[in-house]
Amino acid sequence: MANVVVVGAQWGDEGKGKIVDWLSERADIVVRFQGGHNAGHTLVIDGKTYKLHALPSGVVRGGKLSVIGNGVVLDPWHLIKEIQTVKSQGVDISPENLIIAENTPLILPIHGELDRARESLSKVAKIGTTGRGIGPAYEDKVGRRAIRIADLADRATLEARIDRLLLHHNTLRRGMELDEIDKVSLINNLLEISPIILKYSAPVWKILNEKRKAGSRILFEGAQGALLDIDFGTYPFVTSSNVIAGQAATGSGIGPNSIDFVLGIVKAYTTRVGEGPFPTELDDNDGNRLGKRGHEFGTTTGRKRRCGWFDAVLVRQTCATSGVTGISLTKLDVLDGFEKLKICIGYELDGDKLDYLPTAADQQARCMPIYEEISGWSESTEGARSWADLPANAIKYVRRIEELIDCPVALVSTSPERDDTILVTDPFED
């Protein structure tokens, strides 16, 4: 039985939430393996909308085990609030269907404060952070001073961890003219919520390996997109974790040989939130039309997304770095009614032609797209559930994308509704 990793293959917001929910019907376990609550997934099921940030998308389905892996950084106060919100919508959440890795690092209030302070004080280009403390929390993890869920079970251990953490943070805060952290208040706040969080805590690596050996189907869910990967994204305008498929293994404690299919989620055009290079960005009527029809506003921040034509160069690159087996092409219906469509097939940089995005930030900013024009379609694709429901030119567009990114299409999504999906290849049966 196949285990599937789902990753965003652009700058995030590709529609992973719907696809993960759609695939979760075939899975037994859904695992979130990186990122924080800066990511947002919107699910529309039977007309009801769920907005998830920290919880895996599988929680809205009964009979599935949802897992938050050690590769995630977790704001426990946000998690408690999100659980309460989702419960109020009629979804059952308990330690029976949600577990969190014991070695998951926590996002504390001091992380968000530091995040926002650094961004506001920056005299150089802003990164475009959401200000929710994800970056500083990952810094503390790498600096070996993070507070992890297991630390909440013992006050003496927690106090020792807090002492090490504050030695670093109070030094930073003095330099930024911020008040030092009240140690007693921080400890008391953590101890107050620890009974709630600890009841979900478990040795995730052990459980997942046992479930895999027993034949369970596991779906690994990533956040953001591969172009925001800390190593392979448009650095420094990236997130603070590895986003590509390899992180599914290290972010959950399961071996890479347990991954059978990597599904890359790809929007039929391109969007980006925040700062950074964007070769195919449109500042014209076409760009506004894409944003309006695609409802391109961030689930977490509400920020307007930048919109542009499909960039085959970038998607081919992310398919390579994540080892994508097949893609899920989403929001095809947003392109309905365009007389002509453009696809970026290469870049021109200082007179040279490139078939990849260079690493250097200054070169990325100077890359000019080379376009191929393709005929659009006037018919509606919204709600299509088979190839026969698609206009001929829409099929040509999909097939051309396959050729340009050197990767087959496994799924096509034609609306936010979970069942409006064309299945070409079932990742769990590959």
- Distance CA(27)–CA(220), nearest Å, equals 10
Range with the poorest average pLDDT among 38-47, 81-90, 134-143, 404-413:
38-47
Say what the pLDDT of residue 19 is.
Answer: 86
Give the containing element (helix H, strand E) for 171.
helix 155-175
Is the pLDDT assigned to residue 122 strictly greater than 70? no
How much is the average pLDDT of 315-321? 97
How much is the average pLDDT of 102-111? 97
Say what the pLDDT of residue 119 is.
Answer: 80
Q: What is the DSSP letter of 13?
A: -
Is the pLDDT assigned to residue 45 strictly greater than 90? no
pLDDT above 90: percentage of residues in the chain: 79
Say what the pLDDT of residue 125 is.
Answer: 54
Say what the pLDDT of residue 429 is.
Answer: 82
Which regions of 192-269 does DSSP assign to beta strands (E)?
201-202, 218-221, 261-267
- Distance CA(312)–CA(347), nearest Å, equals 11
Contact between 100 and 201 (Cβ < 8 Å): yes
**Which tokens in the block code for residue 182?**
């009240």
Say what the pLDDT of residue 214 is.
Answer: 95
List 13, 115, 229, 333, catalytic entry: 13
Rg for the chain, CA atoms, rounded: 22
**Which tokens in the block code for residue 107?**
């996002």
Q: What pairs with residue 304 in β-bridges?
A: 297
- Distance CA(151)–CA(166), nearest Å, equals 16
Q: What is the DSSP letter of 72?
A: B
How much is the average pLDDT of 47-52? 83
Q: Where are the alpha helices (DSSP H) in 247-381?
A: 247-250, 285-293, 312-322, 361-366
Mark whether 13 is an active-site residue.
Answer: yes
List 21, 37, 41, 115, catalytic entry: 41
CA atoms within 13 A on the CB side of 265: 31
Residue type, 168: H
Say what the pLDDT of residue 264 is.
Answer: 97
